[in-house]
Chains A and B, each alone.
Chain A
Amino acid sequence: MSAATTEQRRFATLLAPATVIVVAGLVLPLLLMARYSLNRFEPGQFMVEALTFGNYVKIISDPYYRRIAVTTVTMAFTATAICLVVGFPVASAIARAPARWKTALLLLVILPLFVGNAVRAAGWMVALGQKGLLNWILLRLGIVSEPAAFMYTWGAVCAGIVSVNLPYVVLTLQSVLEGTEKSAVDAAQSLGATPFTTWRLVTLPLAMPGVVAAGLLSFILAMNAYATPVLLGGPTFQMMAPSVADQVLQQSNWPLGAALAFTLTAITLILTATVSFTLARTHAGA
């Protein structure tokens, strides 16, 4: 009994600094923002103290904001799906690679993370622009007769987000695939399962926790993407994180910005929780 209390006290002491930082750096601003989101915005007067859900009602009822939300969710789902489909074979290959190559391969995956999102997006701008690398190649090969518009499209933003998220997805999947038993795969084949059947019935189900983790990570990152949609999507392409910044920085509309931020967080949380819960139930046996 007294031992347990001592243990608990030591635990509390260890956790105290982190708790202070989390409360000061995360909880307080969030509470402040929550409060702001219930205020009213009067042009010229900046922010008027109030207790109204008007901002939220506006976000839900205004087709302009609804479209932004739909674009954001669709983008996050698509980019995540692409990341998983592209990332899985890469992660499998790394997991199966001989030990002496593994470090080099992992370094290759991590390398892009050394370059910030904004810098990378700038790189994509060079590659995808009117006079960019891609157009130059397509023109040279005669596939197009005049430069195609890649920049400021949905596809450009999607490619950008995929390139940002892919290393995280590959690393997460690789660490899970690394831990799964190679001999279960051999067992499946000895029992008559072709390589594809083995993948479908053994490799994939065993990797499912990793797929879920990688998918959620990518989804959350994509939902909150800022630099990529701004730089590659241009002024007319709207996603939620940039629109929060736009309300706060450009329109000085803190209440609406705060409400948008909470809506973004809520959508992310609800979708994440739904997916996790559903998968946890279908895989309850494993």
Chain B
Amino acid sequence: MAGIRIESLAKRYNAVSAVDGVTLDVRDGEFLVLLGPSGCGKTTTLRMIAGFVAPSEGCVRIGARDVTHEPPYRRNIGLVFQNYALFPHLTVEENVAFGLRRRRVGEAAIRTRVATALSRVKLDGFGGRYPRAMSGGQQQRVAIARAIVIEPDVLLLDEPLSNLDAQLRHDVRGELRRLQTELGITTIMVTHDQDEAMSVADRLAVMEKGQVRQVGTPSEIYRRPADRFVASFVGRANFYAGRAERGIFVTASGLRLPVADLAEGADTLMIRPEAVGLRPAGADGLAATVETATYLGAGWELELRLAGGERLSVVAPDAGEHWRQGQILTAHVAPTAGVGMRTGS
């Protein structure tokens, strides 16, 4: 086991920058998720760590080893692909044993280690099957067993769940997280799905256009996104243009909102829809008119118009009220609910 350190990693294809100076520190035993929209350079980053893509710049270190110039087959990395990439001409057992055979492990040890790995992914008794005789979820579990059985220094997964249907995706991601915790193996997973990312990650690295925008725990990323892109990629958000004035954010229309930890120079305020409290008209807060009110069972989704003309989306739990269009109420934004950020950065 070992941590991973990548420094100023870049990959250019002709004039196009696929990855543009990524620096990341993944701690020993940590589960880090690279999250970002399609085409932002996640796969390229992962393939540079695995050794399939030669970086244009930068270096990759696994533990104390600089592996930047090592070929993939000398990096001791477990790799899991979106399309499983099992060997179709080999049985499940032979698939899982493949990496052990390359390491010249003895036959008896291979048998026990393969059996252990298969039982870890709940596939006892499937050893003699061929991959094509298994479901997508089972195939992906074989792929995971094949990657962990070699006791790799790091485990890399590229969109491992996106070929599975919704229920299975939920189950397999739970198993993946459990397995990772049990084995304590340093893991980087790539995904474009924020739910998936949030649910398994110790820390997230949000990428856009070949660069890492922010690294942090899921709640740090969600509650205190560094910029507008991160904020809207990991959830819904209201944005207001304006300026910071000693702890108060003044919107373009003149609304004054106290914001905790407001950096001077912030020109945008972000408020999560569920961070807004709803109170009766006249209470302390922002006067607002309900434009649309949608009941969702677990709660309400409201579109409000504030006194200055701004709109505010709110998600509120069902507390017995019945909100109607045209109703006047008060929206309460706690100082800790708003996050100031600088756009154009």
Contact = CB atoms under 8 A, between A and B. Distances in A.
A183 B47 CA distance: 12
Interface residues of B, number: 29
Chain A contact residues: over half helix, strand or loop, or mixed? Answer: helix
Interface stretch (B87-95, B258-266, B289-297, B307-315): B87-95
Interface in B275-322: none
B335 interface: no
Interface residues of A toward B: which range? 20 to 34
Interface in B80-102: 81, 83, 85-89, 91, 98-99, 102
A183 B103 CA distance: 21
B150 A191 contact: yes
Contact of B73 (A181, A184, A194, A286): A194
A285 B91 contact: yes
B89 A206 contact: yes
Given A206-B89, A285-B91, A190 B103 contact: no
Contacts of A184: 85-88
Contacts, number: 69
Nearest to A283: B89
Contacts of A202: 87
Contacts of A119: none
B83 A191 contact: no
Contact of B146 (A191, A198, A205, A206): A191
Contact of B102 (A193, A195, A283, A286): A193
A186 interface: yes
B89 A190 contact: no
B88 A190 contact: no
A197 B74 CA distance: 13
Contacts of A183: 81, 83, 85
Contact of B99 (A181, A192, A198, A206): A192
A190 B72 CA distance: 5
B48 interface: no
A103 interface: no
A107 to B, nearest CB: 25
B91 A190 contact: no
B102 A191 contact: yes
Closest 3 CB pairs of A and B: A191-B99, A192-B102, A286-B89
Given A181-B83, A190-B147, A192-B150, 14 more contacts: A183-B83, A186-B79, A187-B81, A189-B52, A189-B71, A190-B73, A190-B79, A191-B99, A191-B150, A192-B102, A192-B103, A195-B73, A201-B98, A205-B89
